Amino acid sequence: MNIELKVATLEHIDEILALHFRYQVDSISAEDKSDGFITTAFTVAHLTSLIKDECGLFIASVDNKIIAYAMAASWQFWSQWPMFAYMIEHLDDSKCLDAGVTQDNSYQYGPVCVDKAVRGQGVFELIFEFARAEMAKRYPILVTFINKINPRSYEAHTRKTSLKVIKEFDYNNNNYYKLACKTS
């Protein structure tokens, strides 16, 4: 499989949203939910801003068909959602490898989505590392969170990346892991 990694452009939005919809918690099939899911819903406007203002949408494709994406952006971008506003308010409650975490030195990574047809073939690791390397040009620390009811995502991120749990927290009657790593 010849995988091409690149920063997404506006013409990729419809295909990314179609992939996203298949694995978003409100639309995923019940049998696929145990294999991981995405909680945040996105619109064309969200992805347009992510691409134009943040350069923070990364894709993996095979034969010009998108098989995975990863999102990453400043805390300012994410602050429009209450969950991320909560995270911003509590960024300084933990450290990443002895460094304090702030809005200026860190960014929010995720969600990431890999099409079920190519899972287990190294696509996740490739898109994660590509996104991390691109964002390392601007930020020294990557921060993300994983809902504790999403064990597949937790296992992938803690076994296949350099992310480490730096805190556990509760928000809106859900329990989460907060993870972080240095970007370089």
Q: What angle do CA 30, 35, 37 make, to 5 degrees?
A: 75
Give the structural domain span for 117. 4-182
Q: Are the C-beta atoms of 104 and 77 separated by less than 8 Å?
A: no
Q: How far apart are CA 91 and CA 33, in angstroms?
A: 29
Buried b (16+ CB within 10 A) or exposed e, 104-125: eebbbbbbbbbbeebbeeebbe
pLDDT over 90 (residue 11): yes
pLDDT over 90 (residue 36): no
Residue indicated by tokens 């990346």: 161
Residue 40: give its domain's CATH number: 3.40.630.30
Q: How far apart are CA 25 and CA 23, in angstroms?
A: 6
Q: Give the mean model confidence (pLDDT) for residues 162-173.
A: 94
Q: Are the C-beta atoms of 178 and 165 separated by less than 8 Å?
A: yes
Kindly report, residue by residue over 111-149, the tens digit of the pLDDT. Answer: 999 999 999 999 999 999 999 999 999 999 999 999 998
Q: Give the mean model confidence (pLDDT) for residues 4-10.
A: 98
pTM value surpassing 0.85: yes
Count of other CB atoms within 10 angstroms of residue 94: 17
Q: How many domains does the chain have?
A: 1
Kindly report, residue by residue over 87-99, the tens digit of the pLDDT. Answer: 999 998 888 768 8
Tell me the pLDDT band of 12, cut-offs 50, 70 and 90. Answer: very high
Tell me the pLDDT band of 23, cut-offs 50, 70 and 90. Answer: confident
Q: Give the mean model confidence (pLDDT) for residues 4-27.
A: 90
User: What is the predicted pLDDT for the residue at 156?
Assistant: 92
